[in-house]
Amino acid sequence: MDSLKAKIRSVPDFPKAGITFFDITTLLRDPEGFDATIDAIAKPFGGKQIDLVVGVESRGFILGGAVADRLKCGFAPVRKKGKLPSHTVRETYDLEYGTDCLEIHSDAVERGQRVLIVDDVLATGGTAAATASLVQQGGAKVAGLAFLMELSFLNGRDKLPDLESRSLLAV
């Protein structure tokens, strides 16, 4: 996994001073790195009969769509408020500096489906927990959450206590 980590660019002071942004576009543009990433994210869930992958805006779309293809299942996006064209369900969650809102189409998940949630980074866990809530509101089961990278010092797993979460890389 160190070879994948080496392909991720660190950008200091973005989006604001004191924050280091992990830019995965350098990994995504590398064909072997991208392929290895998708394989590594999908592999632990290969035998879990995943019906649907839900990808979280926006880098979760890139990873999630490719993972869905590998797992031979469907894909549904979770987006920021007002970005989806049809009827949605919404989940508002707390951030360290306020609140945010995520939406999914009301018909995106079906009762009883096994859903894998995919995103690029697990940070404080708010986005992941809100996405899990949206999936569960639709009557589906969260079969797991998969992340490319986890910022473990932010303790995001604490907001996902009863959910299987896997991260390829930890910082």
Instruction: Kindly list the catalytic residues.
Output: 59, 96
Strands 52-56 and 165-170: unpaired
Report whether 118 contacts 67 (CB < 8 A). yes
Strands 74-80 and 88-95: unpaired
Report whether 132 contacts 117 (CB < 8 A). yes
Largest CA distance in the chain: 44
Distances (CA, A) of 5 to 23, 27, 41, 71, 170: 11, 8, 14, 24, 9
Strands 20-23 and 165-170: unpaired
**16-43: buried (b, 16+ CB within 10 Å) or exposed (e) per residue?**
eeeeeebebeebbeeeebbebbbebbbe
